[in-house]
Amino acid sequence: MPEHSIEYLPPSAILSREREWRTHPPEQLKALRASIQERGVVEPPLIDSMNRIVCGGLTVEAARAERLNSIPVLRIEHMTDDELRLYAIGAARIAAMSGYDETVLADEFRELGKLLGDLDLAAIGMAQAEFDRILALTSRLETDDTFEEGDPVIPVSRIGDAWLVADSKLFHGDSLEQSSFERLMGEDRASFILSDVPYNLSADQISGNGKHQHGNFVQGAGEFTPPEFTRFLTRAMRLMQEFSTDGSLHAFFMSYHFLLELMRAGNVVFGRPKAMCTWVKRQGGMGSLFRSQTEFIVYYKNGKAPHTNNIMLGKHGRNRSSAWFYDGMNSFSDERDELLALHATPKPVPLLQDAILDVTRHGEIVLDPFAGSGSIILAAEAAGRRARAIELDGRYVDGSIRRVQRVLGAAAIRENDGASFDDLAAIAASKAMEAANV
């Protein structure tokens, strides 16, 4: 068996084959350059006694493009020129026969999660949509759309608390205050905003005698005139803009009732909408004229950088249109009851997860400054992203944490002192019981 040794040569000293019969699409060269940037040249090209390429010509081309001073090569000298030419064809053809067990590959990706966090997927020759599709084959997260508000008599979270759970963070504070965003985000910036903003409706305005009875929301509960509500949304959107990346997309849910105020605010902060999608629910509400079966999601873009597009007209199997079909509220609720239930009941986690997968990369941050029941956290975790959320109402903070803990099987920890939510809840319940017995 012949022995081979590694040599180092400048890429400019390596000669191309006399007849180049292999073709390489531009994205393959781009991927190989990304790989070299990440980890250098790991697989040495094969060359003959005259420094001509036998195998690995694209690696040499990528090294030249990266302006490397030298790369490792393996010189093959125990075969004739013709034998090397035939070997090169055979090596390429045999490699092309291989395939992938994508289920096993998904498990491999999950175990390598920490390394994948900031990695450009091009460095492993994958598009984001393709990566997400494979990872979803062995998804272990059971989403849960059930939610119970926290007990207002025995609150756990307090204003100013920041809660860490899995890879996400929930801040108990006011989304109109810059300090809330600073505490939540630090130096991080969101790559996507997906938010179910308040509807400016009070409970007695909407729920009537319906089965969905809730207390008023602490913000946007009917206290604003239309101009005041527009200013409210504008203030929130400006903060979202400040704490998001250049090129990030901002998507806002809204009923047709208040679409005008939302778009006025959005147009002031971002300019014209980038897109508008329609959530088409399986069943409609009662309605006063037409049965209400839709809700709108308005997209804006922050800045001038290109936005992430994982759809690419279905190139990698992600086929999406502006019509989203997911189950909605119970069709037996009247429309006004449905509106309150819509805001107090979680959005379907699969709907949010798909929206996240459309326009973000693995490990990026998704922000919702009006977190409500915490669905954004479940959706981001399911998508392999990190959620950052703000919620002012302590009932929803406590309820969200309990829900997320139940689904993820992860303990929520208070950031400032490392105390667990469950321990603090037990202490609060014990104090309440002692007070009741006095």
Mean pLDDT of 127-153: 74
Do the domain assignments include residue 109? no
DSSP state of 395: H
Residues 170 and 46 in one domain: no
Residues 91 and 170 in one domain: no
Residues 157 and 82 in one domain: no
Return the SS3 of 231. Answer: helix
- Distance from C-alpha of 243 to C-alpha of 83, rounded to nearest angstrom: 60
Residues 60 and 201 in one domain: no
- Distance from C-alpha of 159 to C-alpha of 182, rounded to nearest angstrom: 14
Residue 398 has pLDDT above 70, yes or no: yes
- Site of tokens 């966090």: 117
- Distance from C-alpha of 58 to C-alpha of 271, rounded to nearest angstrom: 44
206: confidence class by pLDDT, cuts 50, 70, 90: very low
Do the domain assignments include residue 132? no
- Distance from C-alpha of 239 to C-alpha of 178, rounded to nearest angstrom: 7
Q: State which amino acid sits at residue 198.
A: P
Domain tally, the chain:
2
Return the SS3 of 318. Answer: coil
Residues 252 and 392 in one domain: yes
Residues 226 and 373 in one domain: yes
Residue 231 buriedness (CB in 10 A; 0-12 / 13-18 / 19+) = middle
341: confidence class by pLDDT, cuts 50, 70, 90: very low
Do the domain assignments include residue 36? yes
- Site of tokens 């001038």: 304
Q: What CATH number is attached to the domain comprising 229? A: 3.40.50.150
Residues 49 and 157 in one domain: no
Q: What CATH number is attached to the domain comprising 28? A: 3.90.1530.10
406-421 pLDDT tens trace: 999 999 999 999 999 9
Last residue of a domain, one of 40, 74, 98: 98
Q: What is the DSSP string of 52-97?
A: BEEE-HHHHHHHHHTT-S-EEEEE--SS-HHHHHHHHHHHHHHHHT
pLDDT of residue 412: 98
Residue 160 half-sphere exposure, CB side, CA atoms within 13 Å?
Answer: 2
DSSP state of 217: P
pLDDT of residue 208: 43
352-392 pLDDT tens trace: 999 999 999 999 999 999 999 899 999 999 999 999 999 99
41 contacts 72 by C-beta, under 8 angstroms: yes
Question: How is residue 77 written in tokens?
Answer: 């000298």
pTM of the model: 0.82
374-377-381 Cα angle (round to 5): 155
Least confident of 2-16, 77-91, 329-343: 329-343
Domain boundaries, position 83: 6-98
225 contacts 234 by C-beta, under 8 angstroms: no
